Amino acid sequence: MKREFGQAGEALAVEFLKSKGYAILDMNWRCSLGELDIVALDGSTVVIVEVRTRHSTTASTALETIGTRKQQTLAKLAHLYLSKRGLSNADWRIDAVGIAIPRSGTPIIEHVENALDW
């Protein structure tokens, strides 16, 4: 159940990012260190996107769950991904997408660019 909920949030995030002109390169990229939810292109910038989905009325509730340890892991995963894809010299950043799914009504999506600069 939790996995399907997370996947539904990631699908919403993909559609949201596409609507902003992002091109999706990868989803659920895995290695021994962990997983990247979404890797996209914003123009020529590679964007690593962490997606957090929660039953809530505010997206900030979801974004608050990205702690220091997760931020450090995301940075390591980003370097590894870029290296494995031959993109070590590319411009890149890490974004976060928080999705709130209220008990009734439409989902609320909040996109934070350069999320590690919080």
Query: Which pLDDT does position 117 carry in this prediction?
Result: 66
pLDDT in tens, 82-115: 999 999 999 999 999 999 998 888 999 999 999 8
Q: What is the pLDDT of the chain when averaged over all its residues?
A: 92
Q: Where are the domains of the chain?
A: 2-117
Tens of pLDDT along 44-84? 999 999 999 988 888 888 888 898 999 999 999 999 999 99
Instruction: Give domain 2-117's CATH architecture.
Output: 3-Layer(aba) Sandwich (3.40)
Residue pointed to by tokens 């702690």: 67
The whole-model pTM stands at 0.92
Query: Position of tokens 């008990």?
Result: 103
Q: Which long-range contacts (CB under 8 A, 24 or more apart) does 82-91 make?
A: 82/46, 84/31, 87/46, 90/44, 90/45, 90/46, 91/44, 91/45, 91/46
